[in-house]
């Protein structure tokens, strides 16, 4: 291995291995000398109380991708504030977010319809007769032998 710095022109992998083993031995010695005390502390929550309402959801992680692929996902969002006395004192806020299932609508469903159409057409081949199944196997064997003879 070589380095662009002149003073480290040739570095041997054995030196790296010895340095790694030395560091590992030092870590083991230092950890063996200290007593192991397990401390249990609450997670730091920026000064607030952590609850299920303050956790990240999956949409927090997927939002950047939704913004990039907005034309494909077509997200919609509705926010409705319900107030009885004044619009400044809301009693309830309803939030609804949806994504259009673009892949399912234009990719998966047509493929599913095609596969189910072919399967329903092939249903006539499955008659429940052992003689018919043996005939299919025999016909396939003859076709394969003719294919090998024609290619050979």
Predicted confidence at residue 5, as pLDDT, reads 61
Q: Using alpha carbons, select from 111, 136, 110 the residue that is nearest to residue 122.
A: 136
User: With bands split at pLDDT 50, 70 and 90, how would you rate the model's confidence at 2?
Assistant: low
Residues in the chain: 152
Q: Which residues pair with 80 in a beta bridge?
A: 94
**Alpha-carbon distances, residue 35 vs 18, 23, 30, 31, 32 (angstroms):** 28, 20, 10, 8, 8
Query: Is pLDDT above 70 for 54?
Result: yes
Q: Which pLDDT score is estimated for 67?
A: 84
Give the single-character DSSP code of 10: B
Give the residue extent of every domain in the chain. Answer: 52-103, 119-152
**pTM exceeding 0.75:** no
Least confident of 5-14, 91-100, 142-151: 5-14
Supply the mean pLDDT for the chain: 84
Phi, psi of 148 (to 5 degrees): -65, -40
85-140 residue pLDDT tens: 887 888 888 988 888 888 888 899 999 999 999 999 888 888 788 898 999 999 99
Model confidence over 81-91: pLDDT tens digits?
888 888 788 88
Q: The tokens of 77 are what?
A: 């969002």
pLDDT at 145: 96
Nearest residue to 73 (alpha-carbon basis) of 63, 85, 82, 83: 63
């Amino acid at each position: 291995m070589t380095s662009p710095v002149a003073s480290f022109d040739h570095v041997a992998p054995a030196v790296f291995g010895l340095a790694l083993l030395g560091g590992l031995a030092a870590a083991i010695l230092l950890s063996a000398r200290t007593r192991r005390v397990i401390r249990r502390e609450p997670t730091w929550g920026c000064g607030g109380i952590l609850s299920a309402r303050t956790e990240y959801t999956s949409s927090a992680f997927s939002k950047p991708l939704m913004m990039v692929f907005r034309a494909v996902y077509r997200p919609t969002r509705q926010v409705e504030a319900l107030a009885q006395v004044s619009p400044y004192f809301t009693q309830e806020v309803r939030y609804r977010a949806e994504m259009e299932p673009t892949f399912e609508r234009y990719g998966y469903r047509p493929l599913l319809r095609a596969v189910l159409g072919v399967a329903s057409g092939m249903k006539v081949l499955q008659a429940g007769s052992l003689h018919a199944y043996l005939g299919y196997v025999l016909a396939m064997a003859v076709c394969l032998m003719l294919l090998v003879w024609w290619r050979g």
